[in-house]
Every structure is written in structure tokens, then in C-alpha cells.
Amino acid sequence: MEAVSIQKSLKQDTFEGVDFLEIDDLLTEEQKLIRSSIRDFVKKEISPYIEDWAQKAYFPYDIVKKFGDVGAFGPQIPEQYGGGGLDYISYGLIMQEIERGDSGMRSTASVQGSLVMYPIYKFGSEEQRNKYLPKLASGEMLGCFGLTEPDHGSNPSGMVTNFKDMGDHYLLNGAKMWISNSPKADIAVVWAKNEEGRIHGLIVERGMEGFTTPETHNKWSLRASCTGELVFDNVKVPKENLLPGKSGLGAPLMCLDSARFGIAWGAIGAAMDCYESARKYSLERIQFGKPIGGFQLVQKKLAEMLTEITKAQLLAWKVGKMMNEGKAKTVHISMAKRNNVDMALNIAREARQIHGGMGITGEYPIMRHMMNLESVITYEGTHDIHLLILGNEITGIQAFK
């Protein structure tokens, strides 16, 4: 990547949290301490630079090692493999704080922890766990997750990426698209069909002949995150790189449940940042002789923002508690992901209105969050697909196959 000159913002990040219903009472001291450490990390390592990174479509690769150092990669993975050994609410709080900084930054961490480390831990061999997980946890290695294809997004079962048993290795062919981290990834957890049409996970390493990762350019969203493709042209994959623990579409969908849970928390962070910016601006901006925060319509917007954030916090906390107890189902996670991202996107739009013309500039975080959330509302299951997952649960009738 070419050298890019990054401007450090002179604005101080003074965020102290949004907690109208004293939801902190539901958190343990350890969970609050973890949140505080990640909040401080974001204030130091992300907030001062994020607007310039986004404006210049620059992914700061050095953030990978910093995420590893602060424990943002695989916090829910056991300590023996380099993870944090933390509970799911702690994981959610980490994602919330990182996404308050930027959704693209949270995407980098989400993919590493939930879509690369999680399947290797859950479905991998002990040799695979010991080989990859500590390096992924520390940020020494960056990973990506290959499920979506150019012609198969919401319908991953239709994938055409495939591998054949060649005796002493597998031969992998196909392509994946919209893959976060791919241009810089050292490994990819790739989902492909065998000769019987059964889906399996394979660990593909950078440097394997025929494996390329073209970068996706000209994005209006997640501009500080790197996105690309995965292309496999007769890639020889060693047999020991097959994930042996589980096959079928259920395996990658389990990974997506973990990632969607993190998104449900992360979106709250983006919403909080927009709300706090709008609240402060409403008290500083004078029109008709008084702060615009004194007008009814602005107060209505702020009151609705705070209400929706609070509802989302309670939803995320309850699903987190269910995750910790092993009771959370895909439908619960779907509800939280869909509701909380939709909530955040609506708050970003209302916050932009409060900021007036200033809301479209990089002086404030609003448009960056809004553009980012347009991706978040689509990836890891679209807004409409999550509605239909819930609809199927309610009626027992599958609306899509």
C-alpha cells in the first residue's frame, strides 16, 4: 500500500457513555473494566485519525497488531489458544466501543474473532488451533472469511466454489466477493463444496499458488476497512487444512451467528456516537436567539434517539445473557442484529438533520457512520432476510429457500 499522509484531528474525544436506564447495574465490574480499556484505546488509536482514514480510503494495517495487543481479537476464545476467555457480554461491549470509533474498524475485529478464529476453534483440529489461533489473537496474522460469492449472497447454499480430492491434496476452484480483510489477509477460512456437493471449511494460506485477493475500490462505505475478493484457480490445499469438526451449511451459519451478535452490540456504538454529537451540537448551535436544542422538534429527535438506544442496549444485553447460558438461538440474534442496525441507521439520519449542512462534512462523524451502516444493514444477513428468519419462527412457514 502506498504511503499516505494522515492528519491527526485536533478534536478531543470526550465520550463518557450513554446509559439512561442505569444498564451498567446489569454489568459486572470486569465487564465495565474491559469496556473502559477498549474505550480508552479507541480514543487514543482510532478517534484522532478515523476521519482522515475514511476520507482517504486508507486501511491502517498497523491497527491489526494494536487490536491484538488490546485483546480485541477473539476475546471469547479460550486463553489456552491466545484468546481472552471472556463471556459474550464482554465481547459485545468490546465491539460496541470499537464501532463507536468506526464500523470498518469493528468489521476488522469481528471477522478475525468470529469468522476466522471461531470456526478454527469450533471445527478445527487441535493442530490447527495451536498453529493459527495464537497468531490470529496477537495480530501477527490477519484472517478473512470466504462465504459470499458474486452470484450467491443471501443464498449461500447455491455456492459454486468447489474442491476435488486429488489423493494427497485438494484442488480448490471458485471465487468469493465482498470479503473484509481479504487484500491483507494471511489466511482465509473458505467454504466450498466437495464432489458430493457437501459444504466444508478449508484454511487457505497466502502464497498458495493460484490464490489471489484483488482489492475492491471506490467504496462509499467502510472506507477505512479493506475489502476484496478471493480467487481460487486450481489452488492446491493440503488435506490437513480441511476443518474436520463440522460440514454442511450449518457450520458457516454458526460463525455468522457469533458475528451478528457482535454487530448487534457494535451498531449501538455507532448510534451512541451520532446521538452524542447531535446532543452537543444542539446545545452549541444558536438560531433565532437560542440553542436549537431548545426547540421542540430537535428535542423530539433527541428523545427518540435516547429511547431507541436504550431499548437496543436491553435487547443486546438479554441476548448476551442467553449466549452466556447457551440458550440463544439464531432467531434471537437475528432480531437483535436487524433491530439494532436499523435503529443506528435511523439515528444517523436524524442526527444529520440536527447538524444541518455541517452534518455532511468530515468535521462530524455522522455521514461516515451513515455510509458505514448502509453496509452493516446488508452484510451478515440483509435487513429483509432477518425479518424472514423471524417470520419463519412465528409462522413455521419458510418464505425463502
User: What phi and psi values does residue 158 have, to the nearest 5 degrees?
Assistant: -85, 5
- Torsional sign, CA 273, 278, 281, 282: negative
- For residue 80, how many other CB atoms are within 10 A of its CB? 11
Beta-carbon contacts of residue 124 (< 8 Å; ≥ 6 apart): 132, 203, 243, 244, 245
User: Nearest to residue 271, comparing CAs of 18, 38, 49?
Assistant: 18
- How many Cα atoms sit within 13 Å of 14 on the Cβ side? 6
Give the separation between CA 376 and CA 335, rounded to whole angstroms: 14
Give the separation between CA 141 and CA 126, rounded to whole angstroms: 18
Give the separation between CA 322 and CA 397, rounded to whole angstroms: 25
Torsion-angle region of 202 (φ positive above 0: left; ψ -120 to 50: alpha; else: beta): beta
For 62-107, the three-class secondary structure string (H helix, E strand, C coil) is HHHHHHHHHCCCCCCCCHHHCCCCCCHHHHHHHHHHHHHHCHHHHH
Give the separation between CA 156 and CA 233, rounded to whole angstroms: 20
Give the separation between CA 189 and CA 191, rounded to whole angstroms: 7
User: Nearest to residue 252, comparing CAs of 59, 119, 73, 153?
Assistant: 119
Catalytic residues: 380
Q: Are the C-beta atoms of 99 and 90 separated by less than 8 Å?
A: no
* Angle at which helices 250-284 and 366-376 cross, to 10°: 160
C-alpha angle 227/96/115, rounded to 5°? Answer: 45
User: Nearest to residue 273, comparing CAs of 345, 366, 373?
Assistant: 366
Q: Are the C-beta atoms of 142 and 110 separated by less than 8 Å?
A: no
Q: Which three cell numbers stand for residue 245?
A: 469438526
Q: Are the C-beta atoms of 169 and 236 separated by less than 8 Å?
A: yes
